[in-house]
């Protein structure tokens, strides 16, 4: 049994010439044993199917409204993506997994940010229903995120996809014990699934802070300081990261992130506020030697750490 036999026709056509095995952190034998027997279908989700099958699960997995994007914005974007009406915008995708009865097991919702020379899937939401946890479903979704993004990136000047960018709450963050526990748990899961957080380190005393400030998604919502994490593509582990212009990686990601929020029509005052907090952050923290260059260097060090760890995982 192989993952490619589970793909819907639309998804199979999309990732036609992409080697899924090279994009998976786990072996085919483990996939065949744990995840595949429970999967009916893996698909590129349409607006209609999102509303019918996935939306209720999405809402139940992210009950806290300010961190959840409005469902009608998601379905509008999917509608336009499927109709080929997003040609000047970052591709927007939802990859979903259904069980043998056609019910939603989980999904990944992401944009494919186009940066100079490369592309980065920007994972906004990843969720798996409770009864299918710890079956490697999230690993299957991570593999398909890379596959879909790789296909999208090829269609945009043959860019390559060095890593997935995802966001999570800082570990231990939250207003009560329960939400703090959830934030810590998510951070642990992302780390175990191969991601490393990006933080800025103040050289004078080693204090860390996040470079990621998310604007309030609705007018009047406050900005949120979240954590960005990077999960390197297993296909790129053996290669150097020379596809990425290391001199500008941090700044390019930040610029592409805010640009995509603008392109998608999120409230401009909220974006400006988040950007100004983000810009002020190093200054507020009085970074010893903080410059754009030191920030970029930290991104690169993180990528190298992930490569080392993934190499040892594959050879284990």
Ligand X SMILES: CC(C)(COP(=O)(O)OP(=O)(O)OC[C@H]1O[C@@H](n2cnc3c(N)ncnc32)[C@H](O)[C@@H]1OP(=O)(O)O)[C@@H](O)C(=O)NCCC(=O)NCCS
7 with 20: CB under 8 angstroms?
Answer: no
Burial status of residue 70 (CB atoms within 10 A of its CB: 0-12, 13-18, 19 or more): exposed
In whole angstroms, how close is the CB of 144 to ligand X at the nearest point?
12
CB-CB contact of 264 with 77 (8 Å):
yes
Q: Where are the alpha helices (DSSP H) in 156-199?
A: 177-192
Is the Cβ–Cβ distance between 113 and 167 less than 8 Å?
Answer: no
The distance of closest approach from Cβ of residue 128 to ligand X in the complex, given in angstroms and rounded to an integer, is 4
Contact residues for ligand X, defined by CB under 6 A: 61, 125-128, 133-139, 168, 186, 188-189, 192-193
Neighbouring CB atoms inside 10 A of 238's CB total 11
User: Residue 138 CB, nearest distance to ligand X (Å)?
Assistant: 3
Least CB distance from residue 33 to ligand X, whole Å?
12
Report the distance separating Cα 111 and Cα 122, nearest Å. Answer: 5
* Least distance CB 227 / ligand X (angstroms): 11
By beta-carbon proximity to ligand X, the closer residue of 73 and 193 is 193
Closer CB to ligand X, residue 127 or residue 299? 127
Q: Which is nearer to ligand X, 11 or 141 (CB)?
A: 141
Round to whole Å and give the CA distance between 58 and 70: 10
Q: Which is nearer to ligand X, 68 or 201 (CB)?
A: 68
Measured from the CB atom, the residue of 35 and 112 that comes closer to ligand X is 35
């Amino acid at each position: 049994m192989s993952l490619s036999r589970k793909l819907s026709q639309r998804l199979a056509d999309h990732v036609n010439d992409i080697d899924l095995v090279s994009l998976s952190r786990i072996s085919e034998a483990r996939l065949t044993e744990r995840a595949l027997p429970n999967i009916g279908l893996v698909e590129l989700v349409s607006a209609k199917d999102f509303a019918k099958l996935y939306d209720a699960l999405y809402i139940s997995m992210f009950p806290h409204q300010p961190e959840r994007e409005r469902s009608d914005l998601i379905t509008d974007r999917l509608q336009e993506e499927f109709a080929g009406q997003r040609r000047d915008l970052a591709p927007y995708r939802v990859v979903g997994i259904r069980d043998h009865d056609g019910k939603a097991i989980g999904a990944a919702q992401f944009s494919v940010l186009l940066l100079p020379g490369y592309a980065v899937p920007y994972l906004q939401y990843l969720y798996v229903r409770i009864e299918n946890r710890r079956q490697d479903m999230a690993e299957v979704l991570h593999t398909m995120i890379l596959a879909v993004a790789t296909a999208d990136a090829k269609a945009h000047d043959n860019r390559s996809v060095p890593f997935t960018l995802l966001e999570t709450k800082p570990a231990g963050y939250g207003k009560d014990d329960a939400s703090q526990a959830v934030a810590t748990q998510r951070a642990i899961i992302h780390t175990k699934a191969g991601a490393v957080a990006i933080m800025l380190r103040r050289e004078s005393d080693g204090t860390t802070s996040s470079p990621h400030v998310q604007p309030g998604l609705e007018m009047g919502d406050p900005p949120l300081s979240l954590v960005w994490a990077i999960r390197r593509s297993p296909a790129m582990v053996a290669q150097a990261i020379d596809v990425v212009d290391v001199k500008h990686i941090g700044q390019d990601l930040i610029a592409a992130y805010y640009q995509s929020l603008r392109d998608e029509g999120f409230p401009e005052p909220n974006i400006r506020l988040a950007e100004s907090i983000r810009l002020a952050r190093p200054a507020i923290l009085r970074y010893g030697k903080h410059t754009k260059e030191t920030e970029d260097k930290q991104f690169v060090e993180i990528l190298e750490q992930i490569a080392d760890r993934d190499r040892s995982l594959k050879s284990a």
